[in-house]
Structure 1
Amino acid sequence: MPKLKWLFSLIVCTGLSSIAVPARGQALLPYIPKLNSEQLEQQGLQLLQDAVQLIKFQQYELALPRAELATQLAPNTYEVWYILGSLYVQQDQLDKGIQVLEKAEKLAPNQEGVLFTLGNAYFQQGNYQAALEKLEAGLQIKGDAPEALFDLGNTYLKLAQYQDAISSYEKAVSQEEKFWPAINNVGLVKYEQGDISEAMEQWQAALKIDPEQTEPQLALAVALYTQGEVDKGVELGEAALANDSRYAELQFLKDNLWGERLLEDTKAFLANPQMQAIVSRLKQETPADNSSETDLTP
């Protein structure tokens, strides 16, 4: 699942970047002032604003210490815990992130952003039932958040509740019609249900939105190959893996929610001598640190 880039974008664009900070006092005198709790809170909120601005430019490492200090200076403000928890989740410190986000939830139990982020963190942790509860709670407050609906669909998919997963993905697309990862994942579900033709239509629809995306390209290539269109499958598979060779790894595909049926067919596809030669060549050409972007799935 995304690292929380979509969430950080929401944070920056919808209010947390404009947290009210009390006006500063006069210039500092040349001695250490005695700060009262109100002054400390003011400094904490200013640090939080600084952290949000750094998040805006994806400077997460610099934002983290500011957010940590902000929680000490303004511990009764839910936003400081929310931002800090989100940063921990972004850096795969899931246990710390969940612990901090739970503090934010106690301070603001009906804040949908906190609930959505907790749901995302629980999903990455593998606690799908807890993820489901938090995401559903958040969507009761704000039901038109496409990224949260997508996360909910992924959670249902992991729980093998396929129709609920499709419903959540379709709701996400109804809110954002070019949200190709949700369309792509409907294809993943359809393939596991044995509806290969419908899965292919979904992947083709995703590629109409963004023709360069590796995941729907490779999934469509596997489906074509399985349907006997070997040359077309190999050609499309080569184009897909040229964009991102990580998709030649079955574990990477599993991490991106590919199901058992599709994984088995992909294994057979990659065992094709032509594909083996292509993968070998691409691995030699591609640096070990493949930093290209993937979709929003975990």
Structure 2
Amino acid sequence: MPVSPVLAQAVITHTAQPDSADLEQRGLILAQEAAQLAQFQQYELAVPRAKLATQLVPQNAEVWALLGSLYLEESEYDAGIEALERSRALDPEDSAVWFALGSAYFQKEDYSKTIEYLEAALKLKPDTAGGWFDLGNAYYKLNQFPKAIAQYERAVKEDAKFWPAINNIGLVLYEQGNVEGALAQWREAVLLDPKAAEPQLAIAVALYAKGDRDQGLTLGQTALELDGRYGNLEFLEENLWGAKLLNQAKMFLDTPKMQETMAQSQTQPSTDN
């Protein structure tokens, strides 16, 4: 027996429909869950929750920013940029989103876009040392060395203990042929952080190339014992070591002393908690 239209309409009318406030609350709860999962690097579980949250609260800039950041963690840069752009459109004054977009374009190796977004971010929040550092890296990748150094110096102006910027000034100077200037920068970086492996290895490579092999090998051993990742040429390239320094690093790391040090570091048990 077919259901009468009147009865069918009555059933639909009495079906509970969530109101907008309830939907918003659900969306925010999902976003909070996604953020908590992200803290434990469970991005595969976090992304679907954040994505659903954007559907429930599509006008919430923070939720779109969260989704964008999660995509970036998963190296899904195009999806991350799309979500971050939605966030930026809703809240163009959030400097963190501009910084994140700059980082995303850097990973895509679009350094002109990186500069565009980072400069916009720094207009909103000029006291961000890390932002100036990232901007310097973008100029460095474009071989605009004077501009790169200027941004690194601004980073140090904002944070006098920001040794990565000092380290990278050394990288630029070395590629320009200013070995002594580079060494001075790396030594300053080591003074700021004696446990920083990168500048110590850079000093070791430069000294070895100059002919001071014993001191270079000793410093190189110390650097690799601090952080064995720097024994990998690909890792050095990711950290913006230029062609000249990389070539010399290859010869340095191929020495028996460094090969022995790297082998020992790989066999030692981890001390991480």
The 10-residue stretch of structure 1 (169-178 or 35-44) with the greater mean CA deviation from structure 2: 35-44
Report if aligned partners of 1:269, 1:275 keep a CA contact under 8 Å in 2. yes
Percent of matched pairs sharing the same residue: 50
Match of 2:159 among 162, 172, 176: 176
TM, length-normalised to structure 2: 0.86
State the superposition RMSD in angstroms: 2.3
Report if aligned partners of 1:238, 1:278 keep a CA contact under 8 Å in 2. yes
Identify the residue that residue 6 of structure 2 maps to in structure 1. Answer: none
Match of 1:77 among 31, 42, 60: 60
Could you say which structure has the higher helix fraction?
2
SS of corresponding position for 2:107: helix
Match of 1:271 among 236, 254, 269: 254
Looking at structure 2, the residues matched to 240 and 69 of structure 1 have their Cα atoms a distance apart, in angstroms, of 46
**1:104 and 2:90 correspond:** no
**1:235 and 2:235 correspond:** no
CA-to-partner distance for each residue in 1:114-156, whole Å, 9 max, x for gaps?
1110000110111111111111111122211111111101101
Structure 1 residues 201, 59: CA separation in 2 closer, same or farther (over 3 Å shift)? farther
- CA shift, 1:274, in A, is 2.5
Identify the residue that residue 18 of structure 1 maps to in structure 2. Answer: none
Report if aligned partners of 1:157, 1:189 keep a CA contact under 8 Å in 2. yes
Identify the residue that residue 182 of structure 2 maps to in structure 1. Answer: 199
Looking at structure 2, the residues matched to 286 and 260 of structure 1 have their Cα atoms a distance apart, in angstroms, of 31
In structure 1, give the amino acid aligned to 2:178: D
The 10-residue stretch of structure 1 (42-51 or 92-101) with the greater mean CA deviation from structure 2: 42-51
Looking at structure 2, the residues matched to 171 and 278 of structure 1 have their Cα atoms a distance apart, in angstroms, of 37
SS of corresponding position for 1:137: helix
Looking at structure 2, the residues matched to 189 and 286 of structure 1 have their Cα atoms a distance apart, in angstroms, of 34
SS of corresponding position for 1:257: coil
Looking at structure 2, the residues matched to 144 and 63 of structure 1 have their Cα atoms a distance apart, in angstroms, of 31
Identify the residue that residue 20 of structure 2 maps to in structure 1. Answer: 37
Looking at structure 1, the residues matched to 189 and 247 of structure 2 have their Cα atoms a distance apart, in angstroms, of 22
Question: Which residues in structure 2 correspond to 1:68-217 (within 5 Å)?
Answer: 68-217=51-200
Identify the residue that residue 3 of structure 2 maps to in structure 1. Answer: none
Number of equivalences: 258
* Higher RCO, Cα 8 Å, sep 6+: 1
TM, length-normalised to structure 1: 0.79
State the structure with more CA Rg.
2
SS of corresponding position for 2:258: helix
Looking at structure 2, the residues matched to 238 and 112 of structure 1 have their Cα atoms a distance apart, in angstroms, of 41
SS of corresponding position for 2:55: helix
Looking at structure 1, the residues matched to 149 and 117 of structure 2 have their Cα atoms a distance apart, in angstroms, of 19
Report if aligned partners of 1:51, 1:64 keep a CA contact under 8 Å in 2. yes
In structure 1, give the amino acid aligned to 2:31: L
Structure 1 residues 157, 88: CA separation in 2 closer, same or farther (over 3 Å shift)? same
Looking at structure 2, the residues matched to 291 and 45 of structure 1 have their Cα atoms a distance apart, in angstroms, of 39
Report if aligned partners of 1:245, 1:286 keep a CA contact under 8 Å in 2. no
Report if aligned partners of 1:187, 1:198 keep a CA contact under 8 Å in 2. yes
Identify the residue that residue 29 of structure 1 maps to in structure 2. Answer: none
CA-to-partner distance for each residue in 1:16-35, whole Å, 9 max, x for gaps?
xxxxxxxxxxxxxxxx9521
- CA shift, 1:52, in A, is 4.0
In structure 2, give the amino acid aligned to 1:79: E
Looking at structure 1, the residues matched to 219 and 61 of structure 2 have their Cα atoms a distance apart, in angstroms, of 48
Report if aligned partners of 1:184, 1:203 keep a CA contact under 8 Å in 2. yes
Question: Which residues in structure 2 correspond to 1:53-64 (within 5 Å)?
Answer: 53=36, 55=38, 60=43, 63-64=46-47
Match of 1:244 among 205, 219, 227: 227
CA-to-partner distance for each residue in 1:90-109, whole Å, 9 max, x for gaps?
23222221121122122223
Looking at structure 1, the residues matched to 156 and 271 of structure 2 have their Cα atoms a distance apart, in angstroms, of 27
